[in-house]
Structure 1
Amino acid sequence: MRATAWVLAAGGVVGLLAAFVLTVEKIALLRDTDYVPTCSLNPVLSCGSIMRTPQAEVFGFPNPLLGIAGFAVVTTVGVVLLAGVSLPGWFWLGLQAGTTLGVLFTHWLMVQSLYEIGALCPYCMVVWAVMIPVFWYTTLHNLQQRRLPLPAGAVALLSRYHGVVVTVWYLVVALLVLEAFWTYWMTLL
């Protein structure tokens, strides 16, 4: 439980900062169409090209606003847990729903970035990196508390190797990024 609390608190703060910076950059871009965001570093690491796509405003407003709201909640939950407060099961299931939607949306945006837009946003990648453990440790906690159905043996195995799951997930994402931009990476050698 303590690990989950720290993951939520730290992940929430990092995600909140990334979402805040993305929002500031988006506002600057809306004010001045010639503005070059600080995260536009080269043809591949280019927030500006991503911020100009329809995927950057899926619900009719900039996506980072969802991050500001969501990561503020995640941060608060983490801090409350670190303070020793016990939250009811219904709350944990609500957090599970939120983190599941967040990780699915983030991964959809990841696929769009890699295979449709053809660019990477460093701040967005921070959000990708944060959503994985936030989702995973919320899920693991709910599994351990029997709020989600999975055989006890599987839960014990996942609990024992919880860090391996996150590590493999990160490796898969890194391989996808490497594969999607292989031609560009090869020009850097």
Structure 2
Amino acid sequence: MTSNTQLRWVPVVSLVLSLAGLAVSIYLTVAHYSTGVLLCAEGEVIDCGTVTSSEQSELAGIPVAVLGLAFFAFLTLLSLPVAWRDERLHWVRLGAVGVGVLFVVYLVAAEFVLIGKICLWCTAVHVITLALAAVLVTAALRRSSL
């Protein structure tokens, strides 16, 4: 079995995950700049409004939602079929998703420790990022063992 056959699913799954992350990030960006569009329960633990309007919702004056949008737009481009033909982009994808995972760790810590609330939309972005990382790392490990 060739490496191409074993890894055929990776470009499709990475593109689907990138597009899903892009969609949620667009929604969170629109919600950041608008009032009343964020659909999320508000309560003791789950409270998207508190999380997305907290001090931690911006980094150096840039909304985290916008950073997520840029991240997933970049990974969507890197996950297009034409981008998978360029072997050099393999390392760019891994580096980008590595930065994404580190950012997710920071954001989850901020939600639990600093804010004390959880945003379900943010959690969706975190899960998508981690799933994308798992797909790309799995593919990298399989490639290196061939």
- Structure 1 and Structure 2 fold alike (TM over 0.5): yes
Q: What is the number of residues matched between the two proteins?
A: 140
> What amino acid sits opposite 1:46 in the alignment?
D
8 Å Cα contact 1:99-1:134 kept in structure 2: yes
Task: Give the alignment's Cα RMSD to 1 decimal.
Answer: 2.1
Q: Deviations over 1:112-135 (max 9, x none)?
A: 112221111111011011011211
8 Å Cα contact 1:5-1:77 kept in structure 2: no
- Write the distance in 1 (CA, Å) between the matches of 2:42 and 2:53: 16
Unaligned runs of 5+ in 2: 1-6
Superposed structure 1 runs of 4+ greater than 4 Å apart: none
Match of 1:93 in 2: 91
Residue 27 of structure 1 deviates from its aligned partner by 0.3
- Write the distance in 1 (CA, Å) between the matches of 2:68 and 2:8: 24
Residue 70 of structure 1 deviates from its aligned partner by 1.6
8 Å Cα contact 2:48-2:120 kept in structure 1: yes
- Write the distance in 1 (CA, Å) between the matches of 2:21 and 2:84: 23
8 Å Cα contact 1:8-1:77 kept in structure 2: no
- Write the distance in 2 (CA, Å) between the matches of 1:16 and 1:62: 15
Residue 61 of structure 1 deviates from its aligned partner by 0.8
Q: How does 1:77-88 map to 2 (within 5 A)?
A: 77-80=78-81, 85-88=84-87
Q: 2:16 aligns with which of 1, 6, 10?
A: 10
> What amino acid sits opposite 1:19 in the alignment?
S
In 2 relative to 1, CA 127–85 (structure 1 residues): closer, same or farther, beyond 3 Å? closer
8 Å Cα contact 2:28-2:38 kept in structure 1: no
Residue 87 of structure 1 deviates from its aligned partner by 2.0
* TM-score of the superposed pair, with normalisation by structure 2: 0.84
> What amino acid sits opposite 1:117 in the alignment?
I
Unaligned runs of 5+ in 1: 30-34, 147-151, 157-189
Q: Does 1:144 align with 2:142?
A: yes
* TM-score of the superposed pair, with normalisation by structure 1: 0.66
> What amino acid sits opposite 1:115 in the alignment?
V
Flag the structure with more relative contact order, 1 or 2, with Cα contacts below 8 A and sequence separation at least 6: 2
